[in-house]
Structure 1
Amino acid sequence: MTDLKPYERSWVSVLDELRSCAAVRVSRVEQGPVSQVFGDAETEFANLAEFEDISLDPSLQQCYFRFVSIAAAWEVEDSDTPIAGEFDVAHISDVLSNDPPELGWSNPTREEHELLSQLRGFDGTTTTGVGHLTALRVQPDVPNPELWFDAGPLGVHRLDIDYCAYLDALRMTKGTFGWQYLFAEVSLAQEDYASTARRLSGMLDLFPRLFPAYDYADLRTRLEART
């Protein structure tokens, strides 16, 4: 068995936390195989620069993993507020070598066409079909790509975190549906976001007890600011 790096083990721990939590019903937990094609972080970043003409900031190597993918879908059954989530994160080399995702944007403007052409989806909801997708925006001479969150009918939003910070928050939230809004310029006090606000509030009430190894203070502050 391939020896895992400390960062890769942190993701295995996330899956173990979901499996072992009695309050959570897990419908999918999937640790994809360690890729036999992609190498270590330094090698892969060099390959992306050479073959895809994408030069990433070396700081992003700290959150590189070799799994082909890592995914989970789950729900909390006994809760006053229904809480559920999903993540399905693909290997960054696969992500950046793929075509833009097919997004159902009606009558996109010229600027939106350009944005669409630059997006590469890396985290989605393939099991539940909720329709959420987070993407990296690939632009020339931008080594730390923007992140964009597409929530279907509720639109697309730029997130104010980078790739590594996104993955850190994802491990904490376990992919609770709508957690990305905590990092977007969105007022969750609006009626359209009422169910999301309740879900995130429920998560931040419950998760510190279920997963006490994480510090949820920053996420709680962000929710208060948006509600």
Structure 2
Amino acid sequence: MIEQNEPGGVAGFATGLMETLGAPGAGLAVALENLFPPLPSELILPLAGFTASQGEISLWAAIVWTTAGSLAGALVLYALGALLGRDRMRAMAARVPLVEVADVDRSEEWFGRHGYKAVFFGRMVPVVRSFVSIPAGVERMPLAAFALFTTLGSAVWNTVFILAGYLLGENWHTVETYAGWLQWVVLAAVVVAVGWFVTGRLRKIRSRDT
């Protein structure tokens, strides 16, 4: 058992899975994190590393199973993107205020050029790491390539956080604090990008009306 005061919330949920299922429980928790981003991998992965440091699971198994969980969750979102398809994405974009179908076309062109890099590096960026699978599905990126780059990117991310939890031991939870700062930086960048897009689009509309 993990020698710690009964953790609650997400930590308690992940702990329960690992105590019941071992390393596959960590993989299941990470798969769910991919589908429900409010479940933070920045907490689950260091906890898996701490669990490994206590001898409850092996370090190697923690890395392998969490990476498998990342891939499983990503494949579900890839399938969702594939089901949506280009036509539905264009139809949805046409209904969104300030968004034009041409924006979708430009996004498709960008993803066509940089899709593999986006999937690989996107797996190491908070928030983006879950949603990058959807455009990959929409664009029907070759499944083997998607699985390969998702696995590689996830393995890097998972290994770093699991090793941090393993080496920090009882202080594993400090990883979440520093990772939380990174997440806020990413969210701030997203807000700035959206603000820039909206401002530019409003100016474009006003110039048309004058």
Q: What is the TM-score of this pair, normalised by structure 2?
A: 0.26
Tell me: higher relative CO, structure 1 or 2? Use CA pairs within 8 A at least 6 residues apart: 2
Q: Which has the larger radius of gyration?
A: 2
Q: What is the TM-score of this pair, normalised by structure 1?
A: 0.24
